Amino acid sequence: MSAYHPLTAEEAIALAKSLPGIFSESTVLNCREIGDGNLNLVFHVTSENSNESTIIKQAVPYAKVVGESWPLSLDRARIERQALEIQHRLCSDLVPEVYAYSDELAYTVMEDLSEYTIMRKGLIDGNAYPKFAEHIGQFLARTLFFTSDLGMNQQEKKELAGRFVNPDLCKITEDLIFEDPYRNSANNNYSANIEDEAEALRNDLPLHFEVALLREKFLTHAQALLHGDLHTGSIFVTPESTKVIDPEFAYFGPMGFDIGAIIGNLLLNYVAQPGWNQNVENLSIREERLLDMVKEVWTHFEASFRHLWNTELLDEMSKTPGYQDYYLTEILRDAAGFAGCKMIRRIVGLSHVADIEGIPDESLREAAQRKALAVGKNLVRHHRSVGSIYDILKLVQLASTEIGVSK
């Protein structure tokens, strides 16, 4: 019989104490369960008499946000831990260190990042993160390149992919991102004032065609080991440092999915800005900063990825002239489409984002929701003809203008 059970705070303390190298021997420990995400328990264990601390993250056998009626495999804790270990090996400054784990109890003990801010919150508060684009560009380039057929032995990659078969968590994405927003679903969640938008999404067959293409990519294109849920709630930041957490949705999929997650979430914050800024000057500074970040995420990713390709490539046929440019354009197109899907799901589907839901004024909130849908739909509709990051920015501007005209 399995020993699995959800840990109590006392058990979390006993576990932390039993691990060598985290706390000094005589220290008195406290513990708080601080998990505010959709799926897991998170214990923050701190010392009363020093600044030593740690995090114990434990999976529960269902989706916490919905309840026991939505069972989920505990194996996701192993997948998350192994993804963290791989990402830490490839980007040691950008990923927390794993100290210990138990696959049976589905927990991982890791570095505490309490002095960091969750990026979504930092952006809502209007903070600037000048190093973020460079850091995340590097994270994306290194984790995606070195787990793809470009930077990894192709037989070893297949073996590794076998360890990252993640059906439960992939199904969440397949349903919540690529299906529910386009049909009547009990999972959907939006207020009555945007029913017209939800109905338009359900009836837009040319849009469904593009989503079906992106969904097929998500289902079948095992390009590299993805983080799988790289939104701004999965990233801790300070102005100087970035740490990527929570890769429990990791699986082998299309590289553009991770890049699109970042771009889509920066754009969700961008469309929300009028809801958070009464001052016109501040508003335009922040909007411009966010669009610059979108551009820089891509340009940093592209520069690092091209550098890795030119210096670390293992695949002979990939040296064929023109192939690198083709490959990067395909990633960018996928990223544009996935960014759009991610924006749409956060407005009409299950699990919204505080950037938009937290806007205090109802009419500004509704305006942000409509703008997110306009931008998201534009990105999905036109993703296959994108040729540069500037085309993505143009699609964003175009949607903003269209919304302005229709007011």
Give the nearest distance from C-beta 122 to Mg ion in angstroms. 17
Task: Estimate to the nearest angstrom the gap between the alpha carbon of 312 and the chain centroid.
Answer: 26
Give the nearest distance from C-beta 303 to ligand SR1 in angstroms. 28
- Residue ranges in 21-40 that form contacts with Mg ion under rule CB under 5 A: 37
Toward ligand SR1, which CB reaches closer, 18 or 189?
A: 189
The residues, ordered by sequence, that sit 6+ positions from 389 with a Cβ below 8 Å of its Cβ are: 294, 295, 298, 299, 332
Give the nearest distance from C-beta 206 to ligand SR1 in angstroms. 25
Paired residues of 63 in beta bridges:
67
Q: Contacts for 374-377 with beta carbons within 8 Å, 24 or more apart?
A: 374/399, 374/400, 374/402, 374/403, 375/267, 375/271, 375/340, 375/343, 375/399, 375/400, 376/264, 376/339, 376/340, 376/341, 376/342, 376/343, 376/344, 376/347, 377/201, 377/204, 377/207, 377/340, 377/344
Q: How far is CA 160 from CA 14, 91, 197, 224, 285, in A?
A: 34, 18, 42, 10, 44
Q: Is 38 in the site for ligand SR1 (CB under 6 A)?
A: yes
CB burial of 198-237 (b: ≥16 within 10 Å; e: otherwise) equals beebbebeebbebbeebbebbeebbbbbbbbbbbbbbbbb
Q: Is 229 in the site for ligand SR1 (CB under 6 A)?
A: yes
Give the nearest distance from C-beta 234 to ligand SR1 in angstroms. 7
Among the listed ranges 23-31, 136-144, 172-180, 245-253, the one in contact with Mg ion (CB under 5 A) is 245-253
The residues, ordered by sequence, that sit 6+ positions from 17 with a Cβ below 8 Å of its Cβ are: 23, 29
Map tokens 């000094």 to a residue. Answer: 24
Q: How far is Cα 256 from Cα 260, in angstroms, rounded to an integer?
A: 6
- Residue ranges in 5-34 that form contacts with ligand SR1 under rule CB under 6 A: none
Map tokens 């897991």 to a residue. Answer: 40
For ligand SR1, which residue of 176, 266, 344, 367 counts as binding (CB under 6 A)? 176
Q: Is 351 in the site for ligand SR1 (CB under 6 A)?
A: yes
Q: Is 271 in the site for ligand SR1 (CB under 6 A)?
A: no
Partner interacting with residue 63 (select from Mg ion, ligand SR1, none; CB below 5-8 Å by kind): ligand SR1
Toward ligand SR1, which CB reaches closer, 25 or 36?
A: 36
Toward Mg ion, which CB reaches closer, 37 or 349?
A: 37
Toward Mg ion, which CB reaches closer, 37 or 151?
A: 37
CA 114, 120, 125, 131 dihedral sign is positive
Partner interacting with residue 238 (select from ligand SR1, Mg ion, none; CB below 5-8 Å by kind): none
Q: How far is Cα 347 from Cα 264, in angstroms, rounded to an integer?
A: 12
Give the nearest distance from C-beta 319 to ligand SR1 in angstroms. 37
# of chain residues touching ligand SR1 (CB under 6 A): 9
Partner interacting with residue 262 (select from ligand SR1, Mg ion, none; CB below 5-8 Å by kind): none
Give the nearest distance from C-beta 356 to ligand SR1 in angstroms. 15
User: At residue 279, what is the residue type?
Assistant: N
Q: Is 41 in the site for ligand SR1 (CB under 6 A)?
A: no
Q: Are 372 and 343 in contact (CB under 8 A)?
A: yes
Give the nearest distance from C-beta 182 to ligand SR1 in angstroms. 16
For Mg ion, which residue of 246, 258, 302, 334 counts as binding (CB under 5 A)? 246
Toward ligand SR1, which CB reaches closer, 47 or 188?
A: 188
Q: Are 359 and 275 in contact (CB under 8 A)?
A: yes
Toward ligand SR1, which CB reaches closer, 53 or 234?
A: 234
Q: Is 258 in the site for Mg ion (CB under 5 A)?
A: no
Q: Are 61 and 74 in contact (CB under 8 A)?
A: yes
Q: Is 172 in the site for ligand SR1 (CB under 6 A)?
A: yes
Give the nearest distance from C-beta 326 to ligand SR1 in angstroms. 30
Give the nearest distance from C-beta 246 to ligand SR1 in angstroms. 7
Return residues touching ligand SR1 (CB under 6 A): 38-39, 63, 65, 172, 176, 229, 350-351
